[in-house]
């Protein structure tokens, strides 16, 4: 005699098995990516140096359009070539260079000002102003949805420490 198992039960078990397999795969991929990131951060820290530079221009653009050396473009993964990078054109000493800025500091980089930057290869990791007052980054206009969410959070008392 065959057991009558409903079809929806079998479907739910298959979906549950697929979800469990996906979570396990993502866990191990995440661990591998964390190791790679830690290695690259250590390498950046090892080769960093402080340089005075005059920032000429900064933009977010695709790697192919950025003016970086062809050897750098060839070494980059294919997905990275399509993504927009924070590119900074600066005069370092007597020569003009195209550098890649860290996403965290890209908005803090002043244009047409002389700065003292920490550089590792062609990667800018930090920036400090040298001459004159540093101008704050322009305020980014928030969308109506973000404004609505902030108002609701204020009404609910979110972010208040007791």
What does the pLDDT profile of the chain (162 residues) look like in tens digits?
456 788 899 999 999 999 999 999 999 999 999 999 999 889 988 989 999 999 999 999 988 888 888 888 888 888 888 889 999 999 998 999 999 998 889 988 999 999 999 999 889 999 987 665 555 555 667 788 888 888 888 888 765 554
**Ramachandran region, residue 121 (left: φ > 0; alpha: ψ -120 to 50; beta: rest):** left
- Burial degree of 76 (CB within 10 A; 0-12, 13-18, 19+): middle
Q: Where are the alpha helices (DSSP H) in 62-102?
A: 70-75, 78-82
CATH of domain 47-129: 2.40.50.660
Query: Structural domain boundaries of the chain?
Result: 7-46, 47-129
């Amino acid at each position: 005699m065959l057991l009558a198992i409903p079809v929806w039960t079998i479907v739910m078990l298959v979906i549950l098995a697929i979800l469990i397999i996906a979570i396990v795969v993502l866990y191990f991929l995440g661990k591998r990516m964390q190791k790679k990131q830690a290695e690259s951060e250590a390498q950046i820290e090892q080769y960093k140096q402080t340089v005075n530079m005059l920032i000429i221009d900064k933009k977010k653009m695709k790697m192919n359009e950025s003016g970086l050396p062809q050897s750098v473009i060839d070494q980059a993964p294919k997905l990275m070539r399509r993504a927009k990078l924070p590119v900074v054109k600066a005069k370092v000493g007597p020569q003009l260079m195209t550098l890649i800025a860290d996403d965290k500091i890209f908005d803090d980089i002043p244009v047409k000002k002389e700065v003292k930057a920490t550089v590792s290869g062609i990667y800018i990791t930090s920036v400090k102003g040298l001459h004159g007052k540093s101008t704050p980054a322009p305020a980014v206009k928030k969308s109506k949805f973000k404004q609505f969410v902030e108002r609701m959070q204020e009404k609910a008392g979110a972010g208040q420490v007791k």
